[in-house]
Structure 1
Amino acid sequence: MSLSIDITALPDDRLLFTPSPLAELSAMLHVLAEPAHHLGLHGWAASTAASIAPELSERLSEADFLWRSSRADFLVPGLPGATLTEELDAVDRLDDELYVRAAVITTCGSSRLTDRLASPLTDPAAQERARELALARGPRQAAFADRLFADPPAVRTMVRRMLEECREAFFADSWRRVLPDLAADARHKTDVLARHGLGEALAAVSPSVTLATGSDGRRRIVVDKLQDNATGAGTGGVTFVPTAFGHPHLLVVHAPGWRPVVQYPIAEGGLPEPVSLAVVQQRLEALAHPVRLRLARTMARGPHTTGELASAWQLSAPEVSRHLAVLRRAGLLTTRRRGRYMLYQLDLAGSARLGSDLLEAVLR
């Protein structure tokens, strides 16, 4: 499964690497709303949540569906500004139609609403469908949708004021701390793009982002995600926004009418590289077989030869070899030679990460 961005007509100089204050603020708000997604930020989330005034905390809770499970596209700018004020000013220049559509996606939990139906601002059927989807997610979502449809300017003013209060409450200090690393990362990726080309630049963004060229000559940026979707950049460009608060998510803005944006986590010391969903699935399927699971249990205790494994489980040597081959292809074994014998052992570190690899692939 993957999300692809068609960049066939796009020159490499239309790819932009730059930090975004608004995108980073929305990433922080997501951490506060879903701290379980971000184990390495538990301390920051706990201390920040405790420091926020109760009134602001309540308003953030009411609106957290704008960034909890997905993020409104206007919170991840395609052309970032130097300051949060600049980016909020750019959001203010969006017309009500575009703003409401972006907000409705997060409120209703489905981009299909905006892709297939008429405007919920002007079409009664589309508005009713939006209300149904919002109500299914909870009364707060339904109330927000009602307010948005009834008075878009008032809701937009409320959201902007709330984000500005976040700047004073916690964002300014955190942004000041992470901005040097984000700017350095963006400069490095820009340099890699100029010196080594797009493929190397995407590899530097994440092993989960690759460049693919089809037999038809079309070039695509492919993001390893638990979804199948596609969009195009046209000649407008694609923006890559580094984040210090995003791991393990790899956020992609891909709705029609918006410049594609990839918000990617900057490298953190001590964190292993992400594993693709296909590899996670291959490892789970390899261990799902009862015979291979028994063999893995034995090899977890120490290195064994094929003959030793066959004897331990009363199997034939060829049968053991076939199962070992599956486990090796899945990257679950280590091997070393002892004389004329090959010793097989379960890769304990890789196996221990299987649960977190699965979680990261799902959250990515």
Structure 2
Amino acid sequence: MQIDITGLPEERIVFAPSPLAELGTALHTLTEPGHHPGLHGWTTATCAALKPDLADRLHEADFLWGPTFSDISMPFAALADTQGMPGATLAQDLDLLDRLDDELYVAAALEISCASLYSRGGPSPLVDREAREQALERAVARGPRQAEFARRLLADPPAVRAWIRRFFEDCDEAFFADVWRRVRVQLAADARHKTEVLRHKGLADALTEVSAAIAVDEELTRITVDKLSNGRTTAVNPAIGAGLTLVPTSLGWPHLMVLHAPGWRPVVHYPVATPELSRTSSVDLLQQRLEALAHPMRIRICRNLARTAFSTGELAAEHGISAPEVSRHLAVLKKAGLLQTRRRGRYVLHQLDHQVVARLGSDFLEGVLR
């Protein structure tokens, strides 16, 4: 994922929390609790306390906050006069959402899957037959209730938009107001800290503090976000106003989301610092490690190295293969960062790095959900 920032003034890069974005993350967490095992206690307690009507409405339009995130949770990014700043309260964010015209709102709401169409943009389903059919097809794949909701949205956008706003307000009354009171100070402090890092140390250091999965090139022309999905956007679009917004979330890990729809200001929605984030692995490194372990002989060697340290000669004798062949397998495992080595006299001993191997499951989950 790449964001063009060529010539972007540093003051146009802003860190700011968004109540509506955090509500969207909360709804996602309730809908997809498996994505967020660390929040199991909160999701269980919150779901159990929801009134049946509100719980039912939560799933009626869950494609807005379920497997993917809808851009309607960040309306400030589509409005030039906001200069990339979210509202200070949920009501202010919802007022910004109300300002989106129906075509833009419906197009954002019905971007249900991670389709390549997202990066390309295109006409709204309200005015284009092909876009309408594609949107309905994606909604049908989510289930009959979701398909019916999409049909209602296409048939009567104002009524459904009012329904969505009421739903957000009811969620605020039921549980989100308490969540926001608890996290807003932390999110504001995080935004202030990263703004200070940006001012005093520069963009590279500020992005490093956001996530190890984000980097900027030496010329300060392109930000790259290490995600499985590919996409490009620009932070210097004069139509919407030059700028980049980075929004912290307390509930979002392991997701690192990038709003990169054409015609919208790019937004990076990042989880605030947690112990897990300090050991984020790149998608390429994760793939390299999984491929290193895919060979049956290397798996057999790992069974030895998991127990204790072995020399190359010992492994060759154990498995009935030549020392050079063992060395080639060890080189693959070492390059993938799966081994620890130490010299004992004239022997080099190899052992599996248990901490790295133990993290493979969480690294895989973080990588594919990022």
Fold conserved (TM > 0.5)?
yes
Of 240-249 and 229-238, the range deviating more from structure 2:
229-238
- State the partner residue of 1:32: 30
- State the partner residue of 1:260: 266
1:233-272 matches, cutoff 5 A: 233-234=235-236, 236-269=242-275, 272=278
Q: 2:192 aligns with which of 187, 190, 195?
A: 187
AA matched with 1:302:
T
Q: 1:151 aligns with which of 156, 159, 176?
A: 156
Q: 1:196 aligns with which of 171, 192, 201?
A: 201
SS of the residue corresponding to residue 47 of structure 1 reads: helix
Of 266-275 and 143-152, the range deviating more from structure 2:
266-275
In the TM superposition, residue 97 of structure 1 has moved relative to its aligned partner by 1.0
Q: Aligned equivalents of 1:115 and 1:137: distance in 2?
A: 23
Q: Aligned equivalents of 2:3 and 2:119: distance in 1?
A: 19
Q: Aligned equivalents of 1:220 and 1:202: distance in 2?
A: 12
- State the partner residue of 1:340: 346
- Measured against aligned partners, the alpha-carbon deviations of 1:110-164 in whole angstroms (never above 9, x if no partner) come to 3627946533212334323332332233212221121111111111111011101
- State the partner residue of 2:147: 142
Q: Aligned equivalents of 1:359 and 1:84: distance in 2?
A: 31
Change (3 A) 1:224 1:116: closer
Q: Calculate the aligned-residue CA RMSD, in Å.
A: 1.8
Q: Does 1:21 align with 2:29?
A: no
Change (3 A) 1:34 1:48: same
- Measured against aligned partners, the alpha-carbon deviations of 1:88-118 in whole angstroms (never above 9, x if no partner) come to 0011111111101101102x66362794653
- State the partner residue of 2:73: 75
Q: Aligned equivalents of 2:323 and 2:131: distance in 1?
A: 64
Q: Aligned equivalents of 2:53 and 2:325: distance in 1?
A: 66
- State the partner residue of 1:317: 323
- Measured against aligned partners, the alpha-carbon deviations of 1:173-206 in whole angstroms (never above 9, x if no partner) come to 1111111211111111111111111111111100
- State the partner residue of 2:48: 50
Q: 1:93 aligns with which of 99, 105, 109?
A: 99
Q: Aligned equivalents of 2:38 and 2:20: distance in 1?
A: 22
- State the partner residue of 2:82: none
- State the partner residue of 1:331: 337
- Measured against aligned partners, the alpha-carbon deviations of 1:22-59 in whole angstroms (never above 9, x if no partner) come to 11110010000000000000000000011111111111
SS of the residue corresponding to residue 149 of structure 2 reads: helix
Structure 1: gaps (5+ residues)? none
In the TM superposition, residue 71 of structure 1 has moved relative to its aligned partner by 1.5
AA matched with 1:292:
R
Conserved? CA contact 1:243–1:264, under 8 Å? yes
Q: Aligned equivalents of 2:119 and 2:244: distance in 1?
A: 22
- State the partner residue of 2:81: none
- State the partner residue of 1:128: 133
Conserved? CA contact 2:211–2:277, under 8 Å? no
Conserved? CA contact 1:280–1:357, under 8 Å? yes
Q: Aligned equivalents of 2:129 and 2:312: distance in 1?
A: 69
- State the partner residue of 2:182: 177
SS of the residue corresponding to residue 239 of structure 1 reads: strand
Change (3 A) 1:162 1:293: same
Conserved? CA contact 1:327–1:333, under 8 Å? yes
Structure 2: gaps (5+ residues)? 78-84
SS of the residue corresponding to residue 252 of structure 2 reads: coil
- State the partner residue of 1:284: 290
Change (3 A) 1:292 1:109: closer
Change (3 A) 1:202 1:150: same
Q: Aligned equivalents of 2:217 and 2:114: distance in 1?
A: 30
- State the partner residue of 2:4: 6
Of 284-293 and 108-117, the range deviating more from structure 2:
108-117
AA matched with 2:283:
L
In the TM superposition, residue 269 of structure 1 has moved relative to its aligned partner by 3.8
Conserved? CA contact 2:119–2:231, under 8 Å? no
SS of the residue corresponding to residue 236 of structure 1 reads: coil
Q: Aligned equivalents of 2:209 and 2:121: distance in 1?
A: 36
SS of the residue corresponding to residue 105 of structure 1 reads: coil
- Measured against aligned partners, the alpha-carbon deviations of 1:293-352 in whole angstroms (never above 9, x if no partner) come to 111111001011112112211222222222211111100011222222221100111111
Q: Aligned equivalents of 2:115 and 2:275: distance in 1?
A: 35
Q: Aligned equivalents of 2:13 and 2:156: distance in 1?
A: 37
SS of the residue corresponding to residue 343 of structure 1 reads: strand
Change (3 A) 1:125 1:302: closer
In the TM superposition, residue 85 of structure 1 has moved relative to its aligned partner by 0.6
Of 135-144 and 268-277, the range deviating more from structure 2:
268-277
Conserved? CA contact 1:105–1:111, under 8 Å? no
Change (3 A) 1:236 1:331: same
Change (3 A) 1:335 1:125: closer
Give the TM-score normalised by the residue count of structure 1. 0.94
